[in-house]
Structure 1
Amino acid sequence: MGTSMKLPKLLRMEDYPSWADKFETYVQVVNYNAWEAVEVEYIIPHNKNGTNYRLSQIPEGDKAIFLREKKMMNLFQQAIKFEIFQMLQHIGSCHSIWEALLNKDKGNLDMKMSKIALLKKEFDIFTMFKDETMAQLIKRYCHLLYEMKRLGIDKQEYEYIDKLVDSLSDEWETFIMI
């Protein structure tokens, strides 16, 4: 089992897209019922006076839902870096935390449009740096494509190929012609 059963940690918001998939899979494998707390908003049951039940007074039917919510909250607290968790705007339920993470990642519309424009420009001017190895170039290029796909920027396959070939330095010209 080893690291495949280790809870994925969200240490930077930039890592959210890949973390979210890993976290969802992890929770569904370890405790599928807990994942339901993310999908369905939890409403704290109240007694006749309109106040929260004490733990010993929670109706039998609500105990399983309450327990599911608490298990999921525990997983969130373990998986999300404290500083990230603090900056999320949520109402305390697991569903609202997941939505806050999603909204934080997406950002507002203006920010997203700005990111898209920046990535398009970066793609247009992408080129190989002096003294850069092919491995470094490919790594940068793949990261750029990943970010573009994440934000919904899609190009034709030939555009991706042409950009990569055009970005190579002159010493690669012979290989390209062949």
Structure 2
Amino acid sequence: MDDIFLNPFSDMYAFTGSSGNNDTSSSNANKSPPKERKKEAWESESAFGTFNKPPKLMAIEDYSRWATKFEDWLMAFAFPSWKSMKNGYAEGKKNGEALRSAEEIESFVAEQKCVALLFQSVREDIISLIDYSNAKDLWDKLGKKCLGSKEIVKNKRKLLRKEFNFLVV
């Protein structure tokens, strides 16, 4: 029984296996093996995210592209959390048990969801040393850790311009 069943609702996955038909001369000869397709699909899911999972930051060098994808994903699937990340949460790390009004609870849940999504989508060794007070603070410090300070970014741009001018001349 070689049947492999993957998510049938995703275009990246397909049901593969024998259907009782012993015709081996079908067009399956030029397709990649199921393990390779599964690996490619997983890598694609990690890079772009799915409905349930945000895109994953696998290397610090990919931060710029990942940040845009993550922000777009967050806007599409968790808008209150995106607002929390952009505007900040005034209460910081507050005990959820002390909240009373529905609005306070909604903003607290959005904040906690945003922090959880950031932790879920960034490799642990990248994010583990960041001390934060809210989702906005975590987002800003993550960017600073991956890109560097404004001065470092400025120096990187100067170096790239210098290298480009050297190649053009």
TM score, norm. by length of structure 1? 0.58
Aligned length: 121
Partner of 2:123: 81
Alignment of structure 1 residues 62-81 onto 2, 5 Å: 62-81=104-123
Alignment of structure 1 residues 1-178 onto 2, 5 Å: 3=45, 5-6=49-50, 7-44=54-91, 53=95, 55=97, 57-60=98-101, 61-91=103-133, 93-126=134-167, 163=168
Q: Judging by fraction of residues, say which structure has more helix.
A: 1
Instruction: Provide the rounded CA distance (Å) in 2 between the counterparts of 1:123 and 1:85.
Output: 33
Instruction: Provide the rounded CA distance (Å) in 2 between the counterparts of 1:74 and 1:84.
Output: 15
1:75-125, Cα deviation, whole Å (9 max, x unpaired): 10110111111233432x111011112333442344233312321232133
Unaligned residue ranges in structure 1 (runs of 5+): 47-51, 127-162, 167-178
> Once the two structures are aligned, what percentage of the paired residues are identical?
24
* Aligned-pair Cα RMSD in Å: 2.6
Unaligned residue ranges in structure 2 (runs of 5+): 1-9, 12-44
Larger RCO (CA within 8 A; separation ≥ 6): 1
Partner of 2:29: none
